[in-house]
Amino acid sequence: MLKIYNTMTRQKEVFKPIEEGRVRIYTCGQTVYDDVHIGNARTYSSWDVVVRYLRYKGYDVFHVQNFTDVGHLTDDADQGEDKIEKRAREENINPWELVDKQIQEYWQVIDNLNIQRPNISPRATAVIPDMIEIIKILLEKGYAYEVEGNVYYDTFKFKDYGKLAKLKLDEEKAQARVVQDPLKRNYYDFALWLNARKGDQIHIMRWNSPWGEGYPGWHLECSVMGMKYLGETLDIHGGGIDHIPTHHPNEIAQSEAATGKKFVNWWMHAEFITLNGQKMSKSLGNYVTARELIDEHGGLVVRMGLVSGHYRSAVDWNPKVIENAKSNIEKIRNCLNNIEHSSGGNSETLKSAIKEVRSSFEEAMDDDFNTPRAFAAIYEFIKQVNSSLDNKKEILNKARDTLIELLGVLGLDFTKKKGFDDKKINELMEIIINIREQSRKEKNYELSDKIRKKLREVGIQIEDGAEGPRWKITT
């Protein structure tokens, strides 16, 4: 029986979807103004494990994750600037161009980390008419008010906004929006729609609305997309813990006031990653991008580092995480090699171990997706396999398939071989490396960089050593 921790009740509860056999899940996605950092990647990997495990259990999962491409302000109290417009101005490009560029970069990282793409990844800017409709409903029902071309949600009108109080994690997080907007009636009120004009500045991304030209407040997109693609009540809604004090209570207030129905049955929140003991965030500039780590260590190692801890435990990203991930991957690879090279014997001792590893794995994962315990079961199994290579070949093969399958549920793909022995790849790489060397001699750095970049995208890294260039497969 799968139990999932529900932030709303602060308890693990037996999971039961609204419709038998189907799970509708929404997770808050990337604000596409900057590269995916390792904290973001950890949160997305956590949701990937959740989705994969639900699918493993036979559920038909429909996953929606948004791209925030407008309206996420630098300050939670609606006072700051739109993150995308600000960055676009700094880079001297159009905000739409920045968004496209970041979304492309985002998919590369997601694919390299073997995170299954959501069924739908809508952009906030694609649902503006739907947002306007919900705002109209909220105004009609008296949950919202208009001031100078801005529309705010009146948190005093929503009796359950109090639910938030018990959700407050600590004072520091609750203080995230101490700055008050003079146009608002109450402290917790938040923007549904913002006037495109502020002083002598005009927002580039703007739309016509009954309240004049403007753009949506950040929180509205998730309510609208969740309900548009998944229905008025979702089974699961996920996000990082930073969303507990503001973003998610606001989503609840908007959606439930509009429909009169419960918005979400299970609220899931992923803990944060710190970097060498310090809070990691894009706005503090204290972060490592997922891309840097993937380029250096390969997607598999990074993914292993990301899913080794439980999603509700904080992780400090330090060199030990990568070291451990590498040694665990080595351990798994050695075991798979041992199986491949063993000609087997007559023993059948692994039969029960194969059943046991599956049931221990499921028991761990049924307990709120406890990945550390799931790994412990896998590593125990690996020990057993390594000392039981005299089992019948078909049993060894079954052990290999089980290992690969269970690791696959955690998003770790061990079906790909390292490839060094593959004659055809070696020949092809020799040709490519020669072309690259030639282009470098001719000072055609554009081509040589392109070759290196394209190879990196498919997980092949070129290193220029003293004895000439060498290549390795990193994913």
Under the binding rule (CB under 5 A), the answer on residue 236 touching Zn ion is: no
**Beta carbon nearer to Zn ion, 163 or 197:** 163
Under the binding rule (CB under 5 A), the answer on residue 64 touching Zn ion is: no
Q: Are strands 264-270 and 234-240 parallel, antiparallel or unpaired?
A: parallel
Is the Cα torsion angle 317, 321, 326, 332 positive or negative in sign?
Answer: negative
Residue 429 binding target from ligand AMP, Zn ion, none, CB below 5 to 8 Å by type: none
Residue 222 binding target from ligand AMP, Zn ion, none, CB below 5 to 8 Å by type: Zn ion
Q: Which residue has the tokens 């809604």?
A: 237
**Beta carbon nearer to Zn ion, 28 or 167:** 28
Under the binding rule (CB under 5 A), the answer on residue 4 touching Zn ion is: no
- Minimum CB separation of residue 254 from Zn ion in Å reads 11
Interacting positions 32-61 with Zn ion (CB under 5 A):
none
Q: Which residues of 137-163 are buried (b: 16+ CB within 10 A; e: fewer)?
A: ebbeeebbbbeebbbbbbbebbeebee
Cα–Cα dist 163/52, whole Å: 31
Question: Using CB under 5 A, which of 2, 28, 134, 227 touches Zn ion?
Answer: 28
Give the residue closest to ligand AMP by C-beta: 240
Binding region for Zn ion (CB under 5 A) out of 46-54, 69-77, 221-229, 296-304: 221-229
- Minimum CB separation of residue 389 from ligand AMP in Å reads 41
**Beta carbon nearer to ligand AMP, 48 or 242:** 242
- Minimum CB separation of residue 247 from Zn ion in Å reads 5
Contact residues toward ligand AMP (CB under 6 A) are: 28, 30-31, 39-40, 42-43, 239-240, 242-243, 270, 272-273, 280-281
- Minimum CB separation of residue 173 from Zn ion in Å reads 16
**Beta carbon nearer to Zn ion, 28 or 275:** 28
Under the binding rule (CB under 5 A), the answer on residue 222 touching Zn ion is: yes
**Beta carbon nearer to Zn ion, 2 or 222:** 222
Under the binding rule (CB under 5 A), the answer on residue 194 touching Zn ion is: no
Q: Closest by alpha carbon to 259, among 233, 237, 241?
A: 233
- Residue numbers of the site for Zn ion (CB under 5 A)? 28, 222
